[in-house]
Structure 1
Amino acid sequence: MAFLGSASELLGGSRQQPEDFTVRPVWMDYPNNIAFKLHEMVSHQECIDSVSDFERFGILLSSCKMIILRSCLEFEPDAFRVLKRIHQIPIVPVGLLPPSMQRNELDRGDDQNWEGLKKWLDNKQEKSVFYVALGSEVNLSQELMHELAFGIEKSGLPFIWVVSQSDKMLGQ
């Protein structure tokens, strides 16, 4: 996000040509190798409709009162410093991983299926179970979900597939 620059930069700043995005911008005043490849920018520009993604993002940023990022200061201190300087609004890191569960929460097993699943897993050889969790950013159609399930089943490997509520809604 620091690489993209401020809202004013995104809305008509110094980077107008694809080549401009293949080098580190001047506001990134710390050592890094963040840049687009020329072919990435050329293919991006070929897909632009009347408003580019960079312009849309600049419009969005210009009305923000704060920026919340899924990262942490310890991991990217220089990028956070640059973001605070170029945006002049609070930059709030929310961390990289969820907090670890307390030991008694792990033992308790709030989910009624946990005990059966744990027993099943305990009977499997180490590193022999295939785990599938597509997360909230992948939205498969019901047809693709069935294809994926068929392929995994056909492999013959034991597997656990975590399906979220939104995934279940696709089937209805």
Structure 2
Amino acid sequence: MAFIEPSEELKTGVSSGMAKSIEECSFVAFRSCDEFEGGYLSVVRELYQMPVLPIGVLPSVPEENKRESKVNSNWFDAFKWLDGQKDKSVVFVGFGSEYKMPIQQIHELAFGIELSRLPFVWILGKPQEVNSSDLLPPGFANRTLSLGIVIQGWMPQLEILAHSAVGGYLF
């Protein structure tokens, strides 16, 4: 077995082709935003010594008829509920499967959602140490029954964001 010293490409993680392409550019665009990754984008600006344009988090267009192939009843119920809402009237709330929000933050967010009085769909990941019955503040489900839905677990976020009823998002 021979040991080969890694090239500069392997050490930096940037291929010479990619580095050359970046050098030829006037700016670099990222599918992100300063609110989510401001620190990282600052590092990239300093590293590349050129403007970095965060273009936002843009949902892709879902495949046609993909919804009909879903068998999960939570998905069916969520889309059925969304189908009954006015266009651009629903706020999507979700933080992805990567972030497990502490129970205190879940309760604070729930109070904020309730006080907004806006229609909402909230995809909520449950922290492991919390019982499902304790996940939301007492009475939240009853008080918001006519406003929105809370779904525990994974949902097809891009399809929900692409639904005509969704007019904004919080994640």
Shorter-chain TM band: 0.3 to 0.5
TM-score, reference length from structure 1: 0.40
Q: Which has the higher contact order (CA 8 A, sep 6+)?
A: 2
In our comparison, the structure showing a higher alpha carbon Rg is 1
